[in-house]
Amino acid sequence: MNNKLMTSAVIIGIIAAALITGILAITAILPDVAIAQRNNTASNTHNTTGSNAGLLTYENSTLGIKMQHPSNWTKQTTERGVTFTVLLSDRNTTNSEEFLAKLNASALRGFPTNLSLKAMADRVVDSYRHFLNNFQIQSYSNTTVAGNNAIKIVYSYTDPKNNMFNASDIATIANDKLYVIQYYYYAKSPKYQSYLETLQKMVSSFQIVK
């Protein structure tokens, strides 16, 4: 393997690891945030459907992303992007992921320009097959996001307690960045349809800004 291909393989591995981490890892503050929500007023604790909440606009000019999100979803920002989450209100649930619905929007630099978006997506899917429990692809198709050609992967997986999550990855390239939107929701939540509709609205609102 020449140096260029080796570098590409390493970067794809890093991208795949970042995406898998977004699925599997729950940061240490999430349980604390959930507890804090329960200690707030009833409206803050229980109004988590998303569809009934007012919408706010998030914009990050450094990453070049802008989108709407429900005002009552938890927001966390990182150097790569932003995460919006509906946290569990019932700490006795068996859902080990600690969330009911989540959306990550990321802007990644340093991806291999000698590989097509499809080739990168294929390698990420291959990583998912190895690292996600009961990974199943529902669809793998071309789409558009923010007016750009994109690839969308719809799939399901289970957590360590065998709870099923439905998920989607949408990726596009613009302004020398790889933009990735991932969203997941707990398949057995009684409000999953509401969460899915909200997540899809958030994706539709996503913009790439200079």
Domains of the chain: 3-208 (3.40.1000.10)
Q: Which is higher by pLDDT, 186 or 49?
A: 186
Cα separation, 103 vs 105, in Å, equals 7
What pLDDT does 26 receive?
Answer: 33
Q: Is the pLDDT of residue 44 over 60?
A: no
pTM exceeding 0.85: no
87-96, 146-155, 186-195: lowest mean pLDDT where?
Answer: 87-96
Closest CA to 24 of 155, 132, 186, 183: 132
Q: Is the Cβ–Cβ distance between 172 and 179 less than 8 Å?
A: yes
What pLDDT does 45 receive?
Answer: 31
What pLDDT does 53 receive?
Answer: 66
- The residues, any chain, with a CB within 8 Å of residue 9's CB and separated by 6 or more, are 1
Cα separation, 17 vs 23, in Å, equals 10
User: Which H or E run includes 17?
Assistant: helix 3-24
99-108 β-sheet, strand order: 74-77, 81-87, 99-108, 177-186, 164-174, 148-158, 133-145
What pLDDT does 5 receive?
Answer: 43
Pairing status of strand 148-158 against strand 133-145? antiparallel
Tell whether the torsion through CA atoms of 46, 200, 32 and 186 is positive or negative: positive
User: Residue 112: which pLDDT band, with cuts at 50, 70 and 90?
Assistant: confident
Q: Is the pLDDT of residue 63 over 80?
A: yes
Give, as one character, the DSSP assignment of residue 54: P
Q: Is the pLDDT of residue 76 over 90?
A: yes
The tens digit of pLDDT for each residue in 122-131 reads: 989 999 999 8
Q: Is the Cβ–Cβ distance between 81 and 104 less than 8 Å?
A: yes
